[in-house]
Structure 1
Amino acid sequence: MLNTAEKTTINRTLPSGYLNRDLSWIEFNQRVLQEAQDPNNLLLERTRFLAIVSSNLDEFMSVRVAGIQDQIRAGYTKKDFTGYTPSGLYKRLLKKVSKIITEQYRTFRDISRQLNKEGIYFTEYEDLNAAQKQAMEQYYQEIIFPVLTPMAVDQSRPFPLVHSKFVYLSVVLNRIDDDGNEPFFAILQIPYNLARCIPLPHRTNSKKRQFIFLEELIKQHIHTLFSGYTPIAVHEFRITRNSDLSINEDGAEDLLEEIEKEIRKRRWGSPVCLEVDKGIHPYALSLLQEEFEITDSIFEIDGPLDLNFLQNFAGSLKGYSHLSHRPIDPVYPMEFDENEDFFEVLRERDVLAYHPYESFEAVTDFVTQAAEDEHVMAIKMTLYRVSGNSPLIQALASAAESGKQVTVVVELKARFDEERNIAWARKLEKSGCHVVYGLIGLKTHAKITLIVRQEGQELQRYVHVGTGNYNDSTAKVYTDLSLFTSNHNIGLDASELFNQMTGYSTNYDWNAITVAPTNMSSTLFDLIRREADHASAGRPARIIAKMNSLSNQEMIDELYDASKAGVNIDLIVRGVCCLRPGVPGLSENITVRSIVDHFLEHSRIYYFENGGTPEVWISSADWMTRNLTRRIELMCPVYDPHIQKLVFQILHLSLEDNVKARFLQSNGNYEFMNDEKAPIRSQFEAMNVKKWKGSLPSI
């Protein structure tokens, strides 16, 4: 068998062997947009998908595109492993982004028309009747006007700071009785703490629900802010800045303070792109371009800027339950429902919970029970993204206050959740928890809880390992797995992992789990190569891998070699995938499918046939370079045969999906499966998880 270096060299000679990560991301957001466009989806679900497209695009521009712009400014011209230079990729991305924005607003207009049919209207000011105009006049004077701050731009007042991702108005004015000198210019931020869509009073005998945009109402009253001047053009604009933090961890005396400082710097991040109203006044546009030093990444928008508001709008509508999916009523894991003593259950067997179909309350209750149990000596936990009012934080604080040893590894660098995590870290420290901020240069992305309990003369370890965050809010809309176990080897490894994260500990031989950046890559490579050996010897060989993203070149090369050896490989990759399937002589034994549906597919599951003795792993890690080399990640084996069957059933259901699964083609496009089988929608079928646990087929 070829060694990795040889294989990599050979594969690099195939220019069509890889898909570009950022272009693949565009394809992913296109799939989300397709869900917003799909007339078979419920209308408010389509509305939410459209908001997700907007949110995704914001993050992509502020992080990925911002990074490419930095490379161009630095004069970096080297091609990446997919064959793109930064400048070449940037030009192609701008075209793709421009196209998706155009489609996004075409979809918004279509959804608006469909909302009209349901009696829901976004109404123009001139279409209001007298009573509605009077009500809006009062609302403006009493609620809006007091919080508005017009900011003039002239020689004595330089351009004010424009915050990233907020909607502003550009105002071009003439002075009354002026004889035609250069116009005056001002900007005005649309208040983000007021409702973006203002409900209008009902017309008499009408069931219509009408809304007017906040910015529309402000535009109609803009003259009230500039006495002595005549507004001649008022248009919206929005700037997106570079939001990636650049933290000097080595030189930081206090990491928490360093991150707080960098968060504040985000306000002054380099402008990445500018969105403007279609038909914006040329004078306003020229001033904005000059101020932000933007010439190419300018997008003219035909509709309301920033469609993120649609998420809250869809959720705020009352009386339209028929336009949304019925909220899921997750079942409590039957193993803990039958016996509420977690420790007694786990001494007998492992337990797997499948969220959101099974309640995340089981995780919260596990930690809460440990906090209240007098025999529990210590609780150790990693926190990456936590909800705004997390019961887990309360339980950990309570445990510390009662005298237990509580250690929490808080990842302060979880992008866009930094401020919340800083707040939790401070609260936990005040309650007496030992709070650790992880290792320099590495994000702590592993999801693990260790509970140490005195039982007779011995200490027993109980462990929870998850594929998703300890976040009770996202657990309602993300698909993830939770493994609860008292397995001795997993417990030993969990103790060592926390020792490595909080102290000094190296050169440990892991008994069960696999950890990045230490040995996860090499373990995965060994598992993939073992399947290739089985295939070469005529033994059963198969890989099923479910993840969010696949972009690591070495991992792709290993999968290519396994495919060439005859291994059947089914990849279920929701987002970015740089592997190109279906290439003759390279990847004809590999399929890649993406499932985009009501819930966000988030679980990472890895299955290896192993010659007829299957191995199943769950993990916090995608197969991306950052996960394998720059993060503390965890991959845990599933030993219990019954749970192995359950996990296989989850994978099998994803492979059977012929409603929401799209297949990646060798040209980089995604297409729906066209078959004549009865429709199977995996996320809806997964709601029968309680039935599966009672009766499962053999693997």
Structure 2
Amino acid sequence: MAEELPVAPEAPEDRYVNRELSWLSFNRRVLAESENTDYPLLERLRFLSISGSNLDEFTMVRIAGLEGQVQRGIETPGIDGKSPRQQLDAIREQVLELEDRQQESLDILRGLLRDENILIALPDELDKQQIKWLDDYFTTDILPLITPQVIDPSHPFPFVANGGMGVLFRLKRGKRKGELVEMVLIPANVPRFVRVPGDKAIYVAIEQMVTRFAAEIFPGFKILGDGIFRVLRDSDIEVEDEAEDLVRYFRTAIQRRRRGRAVLLELDDECDPAAETLLRDQFDVDAAMIVKTGGMLGLTDLDAICDEPRPDLKFPPFSPRYPERVLAHDGDVFTAIREKDMVIHHPYESFEVVVDFLHQAAVDPAVVSIKQTLYRAGDQSPVIAALVEAAQNGKAVTAVVELKARFDEERNIRWANELERAGVQVIYGFTEWKTHAKVSLVVRREEDGYRTYCHFGTGNYHPINAKIYTDLSYFTADQALGRDAAKMFNFITGYIEPDELEKIAISPIGMRERLYELIDAEIANAKKGKPAGIWCKLNAITNQAIIDKLYEASQAGVEVRMVVRGICSLRAGIPGMSENISVKSIIGRFLEHARVWAFANGKEMPSRQAKVFLTSADAMSRNLDRRVEVMVPISNKTVHDQLLGQVLLANILDVEQSWRLDPDGQYRRMRTGEDAFNCHEYFMSNPSLSGRGSALKSHDVPRLSLHGEKR
């Protein structure tokens, strides 16, 4: 009797993972790093802070969005078939579990840090001299910023901004007078933690100082009870298609966001019962999103303590390398690019080469024009400074500034104003789509005519993020890529849809179809008995059609290896559906952010014949259908080898920082040991291929194989 083949699951919940629940799984992996005993203590505290910040944003955007759907009666199911209401119920349960685990991690870290003379202390834990200093500091630096507000019929409940924290006091003055309720909002423009002077690092949170020295705020009153609270509000901004002036619209929308609907109310576990009742009544928050904790509210602020100068409790410092090939040309970035394409691997290689590319373009008399996309640029941006300088030097400079970059809208409006004052032509792109592509285009007048130089990136033009995020910067003087980049800019600035692109693919007008073609080619090769494989590195995959296409590839015998840092709605290793797909997530010292696809093209992976692409897009509907993104083919041999044989292969081989996605939908740490491969350590220890030039001859780069053996 013929063996029965396994049947692929049909039920949505058996084929796909809910994106919100997958994200919560990702944040649990981040939180697990705060429990990782192999890490230095302050780095563990930083991971706890990151998990808190992540959860805040998830609450303000994703939970708020689902609640809005429920309130409007929208019943559109998620990819797994769950309605918004069903998703909310499942999410809230996991959020509460995650909050509890965060507090458990904080308790452990506080004890371990105390042993290292770093205290996250309550005022009552201090000695008399320290209390005296804290009292003086409170009187001089905090008290003048505080405005107590009584709550009664003539003084309505004060507005608490998004992320705001406060203390509610129940007071009484004299025997015959009734009780009062007063609110003290914690000033938002001062550091959350105060460091008490001394050799021992003692940090006290401002809200604890407010409760400890409340008698100075309310002289003559008896304090009957108090309660610390924190509020998160709906922070998503929906862009209306009919918005006539995007800048004015976003200025108004940012103000509305600060006053958005309350989504989460956090309360101190010892909150006065009367204060708690008042807070519950005033904030129209679903009861399931009222969190009481005996620990600390607002864990995201713990990152300030991580700056304590204790190098023994942090990762060893790492200085990124500057590409030797650029140095070999006396720092001339354009000469280095003209000689040969190169890719810079951040943060292992310095973001300064990107800044130098733009700065040299700004001061080079031969440069005629610069075009630049800006999604997130940071506070002190050398990229903005270079564009301003270029415009002041008479270059034709165009900047595509994305106003819809979440939580960076206000900063981007400010940058746009500064660029316009300098004479830069500022474009805001499409109303309904975000411009998420990371592209610089420089046109230079040379002896043989005009030559175009391009930078394509997987990450933002953000110098701080470039020290933390793993990203790729691809520099090329390939004129076909330059022509394609110019058409992309014309598409954004003039809505001129490119009729023919020579090499790159752009979303939302062709990238999805290009991915289908590449996957279909692997399916065809597998059916012919040829080697077939797909490797990819992404931040997220949620698009149902792409997932289904990868399932189809798996069923045809294509081996699919995926490194997906965050959300993964694909189920891996399911017989009859995805048994040839493996998924892992890498969480470590650096935040994995680079996006790369590779297709075997009829040869065993990795090989020179494989098709390799660098992209700004994840496999999500928003990236493929509602954003302007680019996907760039890599033909230069050295760059191709670096992306396939270094970046992708090292990520696939990593064990020490990796979590494997099992068929049951759960992530489990991969085994570790003395010889466990760590891709971050590999990249920190070994130079990349394309930035080395002739220096490779004196420093051989260890090559990797799929068996984990250097060759």
Which residue matches 1:224? 216
Which residue matches 1:515? 506
Deviation at 1:14, TM superposition (A): 5.1
Superposition map of 1:179-578 within 5 A: 181=178, 183-202=179-198, 207-248=199-240, 250-294=241-285, 295-315=287-307, 317-318=308-309, 320-339=310-329, 340-456=331-447, 458-578=449-569
Supply the distance in 2 between the matched residues of 1:376 and 1:415 (Cα, whole angstroms): 33
Letter in 2 for 1:232: L
Deviation at 1:698, TM superposition (A): 9.7
Q: Is the 8 A contact 2:573 2:663 kept in 1?
A: yes
Deviation at 1:691, TM superposition (A): 6.0
Render the CA deviation track for 1:17-40: whole Å, top value 9, x for unaligned: 100000000000000010001111
Supply the distance in 1 between the matched residues of 2:52 and 2:242 (Cα, whole angstroms): 36
Supply the distance in 1 between the matched residues of 2:561 and 2:637 (Cα, whole angstroms): 22
Deviation at 1:353, TM superposition (A): 0.5
Supply the distance in 1 between the matched residues of 2:203 and 2:333 (Cα, whole angstroms): 50
2:679 corresponds, among 679, 682, 692, to 682
1:104 corresponds, among 92, 102, 105, to 102
Moved more, 59-68 or 230-239: 230-239
SS state at 1:406 partner = strand
Deviation at 1:154, TM superposition (A): 0.9
2:24 corresponds, among 11, 23, 26, to 26
Which residue matches 2:3? none
Q: Is the 8 A contact 2:649 2:704 kept in 1?
A: no
Letter in 2 for 1:343: F
Supply the distance in 1 between the matched residues of 2:104 and 2:273 (Cα, whole angstroms): 25
Supply the distance in 2 between the matched residues of 1:99 and 1:407 (Cα, whole angstroms): 48
Letter in 2 for 1:264: Q
Which residue matches 2:147? 149
Task: Identify if the C-alpha distance between structure 1 residues 121 and 640 changes in structure 2 by more than 3 Å, giving closer, same or farther.
Answer: same
Q: Is the 8 A contact 1:335 1:351 kept in 2?
A: no
Supply the distance in 2 between the matched residues of 1:231 and 1:614 (Cα, whole angstroms): 72
Letter in 2 for 1:391: P
Render the CA deviation track for 1:140-160: whole Å, top value 9, x for unaligned: 111111111111111011111
Deviation at 1:11, TM superposition (A): 7.0
Is 2:648 aligned against 1:647? no
Which residue matches 1:5? none
Render the CA deviation track for 1:304-360: whole Å, top value 9, x for unaligned: 210112111111x12x10110122101101221111222222222101100000000
Is 2:669 aligned against 1:672? yes
Is 2:50 aligned against 1:52? yes
Render the CA deviation track for 1:495-540: whole Å, top value 9, x for unaligned: 1011111113125111111101010101001111111111111111
Q: Is the 8 A contact 2:27 2:51 kept in 1?
A: yes
Supply the distance in 2 between the matched residues of 1:119 and 1:103 (Cα, whole angstroms): 24
Supply the distance in 1 between the matched residues of 2:671 and 2:626 (Cα, whole angstroms): 40
Which residue matches 1:630? 626
Supply the distance in 2 between the matched residues of 1:190 and 1:333 (Cα, whole angstroms): 47
Letter in 2 for 1:653: A
Moved more, 420-429 or 227-236: 227-236
Letter in 1 for 2:622: R
Deviation at 1:387, TM superposition (A): 1.6
Is 2:655 aligned against 1:658? yes
Render the CA deviation track for 1:265-296: whole Å, top value 9, x for unaligned: 01210111110000312221221111111222
Render the CA deviation track for 1:203-241: whole Å, top value 9, x for unaligned: xxxx53322222211111112222443221112101110
Task: Identify if the C-alpha distance between structure 1 residues 348 and 691 changes in structure 2 by more than 3 Å, giving closer, same or farther.
Answer: closer
RMSD over aligned Cα atoms: 1.6
Q: Is the 8 A contact 2:9 2:577 kept in 1?
A: no
1:600 corresponds, among 583, 591, 606, to 591
Supply the distance in 2 between the matched residues of 1:380 and 1:133 (Cα, whole angstroms): 57
Letter in 1 for 2:165: V
Is 2:586 aligned against 1:589? no
Q: Is the 8 A contact 2:488 2:498 kept in 1?
A: no
SS state at 1:37 partner = coil
Deviation at 1:688, TM superposition (A): 3.2
Which residue matches 2:137? 139
Task: Identify if the C-alpha distance between structure 1 residues 165 and 215 changes in structure 2 by more than 3 Å, giving closer, same or farther.
Answer: same
Letter in 2 for 1:194: V
Task: Identify if the C-alpha distance between structure 1 residues 325 and 698 changes in structure 2 by more than 3 Å, giving closer, same or farther.
Answer: closer
Task: Identify if the C-alpha distance between structure 1 residues 448 and 689 changes in structure 2 by more than 3 Å, giving closer, same or farther.
Answer: farther
Supply the distance in 2 between the matched residues of 1:457 and 1:333 (Cα, whole angstroms): 27
Supply the distance in 2 between the matched residues of 1:116 and 1:472 (Cα, whole angstroms): 34
Supply the distance in 1 between the matched residues of 2:588 and 2:124 (Cα, whole angstroms): 39
Percent of paired sites with the same residue: 38
SS state at 2:303 partner = helix
Supply the distance in 1 between the matched residues of 2:10 and 2:117 (Cα, whole angstroms): 57
- Unaligned runs of at least 5 residues, structure 2: 1-7, 604-608, 706-711
Which residue matches 2:709? none
TM-score of the superposed pair, with normalisation by structure 2 = 0.93
Q: Is the 8 A contact 1:379 1:450 kept in 2?
A: yes
SS state at 2:299 partner = coil
Render the CA deviation track for 1:168-217: whole Å, top value 9, x for unaligned: 111122232136x5x42221111233332222243xxxx53322222211
> Which contiguous aligned blocks of 4+ residues in structure 1 show a shift greater than 3 angstroms?
10-15, 695-699
Which residue matches 2:611? 615
Task: Identify if the C-alpha distance between structure 1 residues 225 and 691 changes in structure 2 by more than 3 Å, giving closer, same or farther.
Answer: closer
Moved more, 602-611 or 220-229: 220-229
Q: Is the 8 A contact 2:370 2:440 kept in 1?
A: yes
Q: Is the 8 A contact 2:193 2:304 kept in 1?
A: no
1:167 corresponds, among 159, 165, 168, to 165
Q: Is the 8 A contact 1:334 1:690 kept in 2?
A: no
SS state at 2:34 partner = helix
Q: Is the 8 A contact 1:543 1:570 kept in 2?
A: yes
SS state at 1:463 partner = strand
Supply the distance in 2 between the matched residues of 1:24 and 1:385 (Cα, whole angstroms): 25
Deviation at 1:254, TM superposition (A): 1.6
Supply the distance in 2 between the matched residues of 1:194 and 1:507 (Cα, whole angstroms): 50
Render the CA deviation track for 1:38-85: whole Å, top value 9, x for unaligned: 111110110000000100000000000000100111112242220211
Supply the distance in 2 between the matched residues of 1:228 and 1:213 (Cα, whole angstroms): 25
Supply the distance in 1 between the matched residues of 2:12 and 2:290 (Cα, whole angstroms): 35
Deviation at 1:584, TM superposition (A): 0.4
Deviation at 1:458, TM superposition (A): 1.6
SS state at 2:160 partner = coil
Q: Is the 8 A contact 2:540 2:566 kept in 1?
A: yes
Supply the distance in 2 between the matched residues of 1:506 and 1:540 (Cα, whole angstroms): 37
SS state at 1:289 partner = helix
